[in-house]
Each structure stands twice: as structure tokens, then as C-alpha cells.
A and B are shown apart, each in its own frame.
Chain A
């Protein structure tokens, strides 16, 4: 079983839709959870960061962590064509542990 599983996609939605991106994980030691956004032919950039369980909101983006279910989500409200990118979840256990990435899901928002 992979440590981090991410829905493979691709995902295509109309502009204005609410998007839900999800990852599951098997390592109960993971405490830090991140979402990276990667535009085509660019390097990933950090989008959201959450420690332990709970929600975090930043504009149209909400990151949600459910440690009891080992499940994290990224919600995008009022999706825009500029949100079209690949989204990667990442997580780590502690200060001295490496980042483990999901495989990424490609999102396309149709005008």
C-alpha cells in the first residue's frame, strides 16, 4: 500500500463549480499536510499548509484534515480557468522527516 494515495484524475469542471480534491494516507505519524499547485511546465508551489486535524481557509481555497480517517481534502470554491493545474498533496511526520507526495491530479476548469 502506498503511503499517500491521490485520486488519479484528470478532473474537468465548468467555471464556477466547487472542486473537491482528496488524498488518503496510511502513516498515522503524519502531522503536517500540504497542498502544492503545479502549472504546466513549472515547478510546484505551496498553496496550503495545515498542521494536524481541522480546516484552514484562504480565499477560495479550504484545506481539511481528518486524521481519524487518514483523509485530507482541498476545496476550491467558484473555480476559475486560472485554477487549471496539477494539484499535489504532501505530508510529513515531524521536523526531521521527509515530505511524501501524492501523484497529483490534473484539474481543468472550462470557461
Chain B
């Protein structure tokens, strides 16, 4: 998994509660990404980061925020979880900008009831 860990790996939460997912990398790569994967939609980019405190929105960013205070950690926060945010969330890193060789973490399975 290219030194990428995600926590928690599984989470069940209630509608309206805030949730934070963590992505941690051990290889000091500059670029990090958060995706969600849903049946019928494939992988969709939520947010990405190109350095400490440098982040930008992807195609499905509504309802999500991110923070990156250290190179190794990229946090994804669901400000007020909704059932439509039930999904599998993947963190990825790449060595270069939008590198084709993106390495993915093991994923976090989130259920919002």
C-alpha cells in the first residue's frame, strides 16, 4: 500500500454528526487525494492537496472539507454526515502532479444511518 494508512477502516455514524477520516503516508509525497467510490459511479475526486495547507476542490466536494497541516497527514471531514455520503473513501498519493502512478490506501468504509 505504498506506506499509506487510513483510519478508521470502518465507521458507522448517524446523520448530522461530524466525521473525520485520516490518511497518513510515510514517504513524504507532496500530492495527496481523497476519492469516494460508489457502485455505478466509480472513483470520484473529492479534494486534493499539493502541499501543506494547499488544497483544492474536486468534482464532488460539497459537504466535505479537508486539512493538511503536516506533509504526512491529510484529513477529510464530513461536516454534517448524510446518508448520501455512505461510501468507501480512498486516499491516494502521487509523486508528481496528477501522477498517473497514484498509490491508493486500503480505504475506509463509512455508513451513515
A interface, CB within 8 angstroms of B: 6, 32, 34, 41-46, 49, 88, 90, 92, 95-99, 101-104
Question: Could you tell me the distance between the alpha carbons of A101 and B102 in the complex, rounded to whole angstroms?
Answer: 12
| CB closest residue in chain B, given A44 | B104
- Number of chain B residues close to chain A: CB under 8 A: 23
1/0 contact trace for B31-59 toward A, CB 8 Å? 00000000011111100100000000010
Contacts A42-B107, A43-B107, A44-B90 known; A98 to B100 CB distance under 8 Å?
no
Main secondary structure of the interface of A (DSSP, over half): loop
| CB closest residue in chain B, given A89 | B42
Residues of chain A with a CB closer than 8 A to B90's CB: 43-44
| CB closest residue in chain B, given A95 | B97
Main secondary structure of the interface of B (DSSP, over half): loop
A46 touches B100 (CB 8 A): yes
A49 touches B100 (CB 8 A): yes
| CB closest residue in chain B, given A2 | B42
Residues of chain B with a CB closer than 8 A to A99's CB: 45, 98, 100, 102
Contact pick for B45, options A49, A98, A104, CB 8 Å = A98
Contact pick for B100, options A6, A32, A45, A88, CB 8 Å = A32
Contact pick for A96, options B43, B98, B101, B103, CB 8 Å = B98
